[in-house]
Structure 1
Amino acid sequence: MAPSPPSSPPTTGPPDPAGTITGRPGPRPPLTLPFLLALPFLALLTLVAVHWSPLLALDRAIATALHRTAVADPGLTQVNRVFSDWVWDPWTFRALLAVVVITLLRRKRWALGCWVAGTAVAGTALQQVLKAVVGRHRPVWPDPVDSAQYAAFPSGHAMTAAVAGGLALWLLRLYGTRRRWLWCAASLTAVSVAGVGFTRVYLGVHWATDVLGGWLLGAALVAAAAITYPRRHGPR
């Protein structure tokens, strides 16, 4: 009997001492996802721009109820300010993304690092343009508990959190992170994104629909970036 040909050595990915990376890139998001997120954002943008009275009344009711609580409970208000101005501040998220981008570039993942940086910059530019175009006024209170600059729609805090969290989850999926760690990251992202949105309305510096608009637009931008990223570059 002729000897069997020697088997080729198994192909392995890069070392993974922590056991958190499978080495298999995660699936690409559905092609329709950016449109499914952009459509409700465009509808919301239209309603805000034309000052649709039922929407304005809902915003006012939510903001008024939360503002009463903020005025009546200075301790809880201070906690919300710490989370809004420090823990979930846009510059905190941008600093974390900067660390990610620098890490990718130092490991010579040029395309991926530039893609993440470009998406983050595009998100910041887009929100500022929309704020200037829509020109929505922020809530005004006789007894404010916090203050903020620039126009209200969309919320920069909410959108930056959605972009940063979305990009982080996309990178984890791209590198094939194990499911349990992906769920942990997704839970942390959900808490942060929801939390920063709540603090902005609770502190009386945004309407609820400003936050919703920021979430939708940020998620749509990340979905578009994930779909259009040239997979020939791979995650490495």
Structure 2
Amino acid sequence: MLDRPRQTPLLSALVCLGLFAAIALCVAAELSWLTDLDSHGEAARQWAGDRSWLEHPLRVIEVAGGTLWMTIATIVFAAGGLLRGHRRAGILIAVVMAATALITYFTKMFVGRGRPLWQDPEYFLHSNAFPSGHSSAAAAFAGLVIVVAAMLVRRTAIRRLICTLAVLAWALVAADRILLGRHYPSDVLGGTLLGVGVLLLGIALYNPLPRSHALKAEPLPEPFPSARRLAVVLNPIKVESVENFQTMVTQMALESGWNSPQWFFTTVEDSGTGQAEQAAVNGADLVIVCGGDGTVREVCAELAGTGIPVGVVPAGTGNLLARNLEIPLFIRAAIDIALTGQDRAIDMVEVDGDGIEPTHFMVMAGMGFDAAIMEGVNEDLKKKVGWLAYVLSALKGLMFPTMKLEISVDGGPFTKHRARTCVIGNVGSLQGGMNLLPDATIDDGLLDVVLLYPRRFLSWIPLVLRVMTRREHNAGESVARMTGRTVVVRASGEVPRQLDGDTIGLGSELRMECVHGRVLVRVPRTV
């Protein structure tokens, strides 16, 4: 619905609101067919009244779907969108819920329908009944949850679960109004049509997707003439439909003044290096890469130093590079930034060690507990639930054994340390959005190191709080930090290791050097 022409949600909104208006007129005219429909409400109330165990759950649902809690939920939902940088989504949430409430109120005043007489006399409501305010608010809110899930949740299984739960929540509220005898069935139907109609109208008039730079900004000046040749490196298993993705990119590229793209698909044997090399040989002026952190790393490394910018369309589980560059996770918005954003020179890290060929990373390397998390992830579960698979793996390995480490920074003497995990990062925000390296930036030419050493199981709690609040720490505490252009880490024995979330096997040493400003990437415009 979000990617479709404006006419689609607009027509759907007019149908819903038209049906709502028709039912409102029928209610006001007290037509007989509507009376027959509403008579089923009395039977439903009688059925629920005969089952005393239902009374308390129905009251709880009534309170949870009432004005107070729906207002609180709306404020939290809208504020969350605004604070997370999804301004249009936050505004849509606030406007749709407010408009639904206002239309519900004035329609109640206009129609003036009384409540059903079969309500429980102990909790009898005397306010107007049509349309059901609980139903209109629940329908609008559930629809907004589905819209935001479509925008931000990449995993199909999780997105479907969220949508199912949203619809179930609306259904519980709608059934609750009838089973308690608060509303006639037509009140609930009218409220639902109103909530859905207002939501669809809001999407048609103010689509929550970020607006394309191609529509609102002039093209950025180019230092050298460009033939506007575009290449796309795609990991085909990371998108739901390769054909739909190709159609979307091609259409957006042509709208933004680029030529039709050349397509290169990664394979099990080559996760991006060969495809990026061929794109460069073919004269690409921009290479878009769509895949996980591993594919993005390979393409960036191959194009490092060529002057060819890389547009990142995140389609993995962690998407750490995209998150730290403030590239949105919604595919269409990320494509737009890749095509129309500005170039930024970022650092790349060269790395080697025992048992591995010289390689590189863009975001982070790790030894110990964090690498054990990557190693212990169930890949089948990861495909279904995404990052939750990492959480389960982390819980299983919280007491990873202590490592004895020696670390040298910028060629200095080795210092001895004890830690459960050692992370060397090129960015500040790592897994789960945790700001492990608060002073790290991706273009400062420096590596940041953090050592975590919780001594007991419960020590993880204050440790996490210390990391998240950036509290200063004294020597001997469970957090230690270092910074330098080159870093060498040695362990007393073989431990798990990882680069950008991909395991590289057991080993005892990593040698890293930050190469300043080596890769050009497309990022959101600052003006």
Write 1 or 2 for the structure with the bigger share of strand. 2
What is residue 46 of structure 2 aligned with on the other side?
A: 68
- Work out which of the residue numbers 186, 197, 202 in structure 2 matches 1:209: 186
Q: 1:129-167 deviations in whole A, cap 9, x for unaligned?
A: 100111001111385363335210000000000011111
TM-score, scaled to structure 2? 0.37
Among residues 113, 129, 133, which one is paired with 2:106 in the alignment?
Answer: 129
TM-score by length of 1: 0.80
2:123 counterpart SS class: coil
- Match for residue 48 of structure 1? 27
Which structure is higher in RCO with an 8 Å CA cutoff and minimum separation 6?
Answer: 1
- What is the distance in 2 between the residues matched to 1:139 and 1:155? 12
Q: Where does residue 167 of structure 1 map in the other structure? A: 144
Aligned to 1:10: none
Q: CA deviation at 1:63?
A: 1.8
Aligned length, in residue pairs: 210
Residues in 1 aligned to 2:36 and 2:121: alpha-carbon distance in whole angstroms: 20
* Residue matched to 1:6: none
1:109 shift after superposition: 3.5
Q: Which runs of 5+ in 1 are unaligned?
A: 1-24
1:1-236 superposed matches below 5 A: 26-28=2-4, 30-31=8-9, 32-60=11-39, 62-86=40-64, 88-141=65-118, 144=121, 146-175=123-152, 177-230=154-207, 231=209, 233=211
Query: Which deviates further from its counterpart, 138-147 or 204-213?
Result: 138-147
Q: Which deviations, in whole Å up to 9, do the C-alpha atoms of 1:71-124 show, x marking residues without a partner?
A: 3222212221122223x3343333222112112222344343222211111111
Q: Which amino acid aligns with 2:19?
A: P
CA distance in 1, matches of 2:173, 2:210: 36
Alpha-carbon distance in structure 2 between the residues aligned to 1:176 and 1:27: 15
Identity of aligned residues (%): 27
After TM superposition, give the deviation of residue 26 of structure 1 in Å.
4.9
Compared with structure 1, are the counterparts of its residues 168 and 80 closer, same or farther at alpha carbon in structure 2 (3 Å cutoff)? same
Alpha-carbon distance in 2 for matches of 1:220, 1:191? 19
Alpha carbons 2:132, 2:191 under 8 Å: kept: yes
Q: Write out per-residue CA displacement over residues 24-57 of structure 1, whole angstroms, 9 at most, x where no aligned residue.
A: x952472421122122212211211110012113
Structure 1's 114 and 143: CA in aligned 2 closer, same or farther, altered over 3 A?
closer
Task: Give how far 1:220 is off.
Answer: 0.6
3-state DSSP class of the match of 1:42? helix
CA distance in 1, matches of 2:210, 2:161: 28
| Alignment check: 8 A CA contact 2:37 2:186 kept | no
Residue identity matched to 2:54:
L
Q: Which has the higher helix share?
A: 1
User: Post-superposition shift, 1:187?
Assistant: 0.8
Structure 1 residues 213 and 91: alpha-carbon distance in aligned structure 2, compared to 1, 3 A threshold: same
Question: Which whole-Å CA distance do the structure 2 matches of 1:45 and 1:185 have between them?
Answer: 32
Question: Is 1:144–1:204's contact at 8 Å kept on the other side of the alignment?
Answer: no
Answer with 101-110 or 209-218: which moved more: 101-110
| In 1, Cα distance between equivalents of 2:119 and 2:184 | 16
Q: Distance in 1 between matches of 2:60 and 2:131?
A: 21
CA distance in 1, matches of 2:198, 2:77: 18
For structure 1, which segment, 182-191 or 93-102, has the greater mean C-alpha deviation from structure 2 after superposition? Answer: 93-102
Deviation of 1:178 after TM superposition, in Å, equals: 3.1
Q: Which runs of 5+ in 2 are unaligned?
A: 213-329, 334-527
Q: Which amino acid aligns with 1:41?
A: F
CA distance in 2, matches of 1:129, 1:142: 23
The letter for the 2-side match of 1:59 is D
CA contact (8 A) 1:146 1:204 kept: no
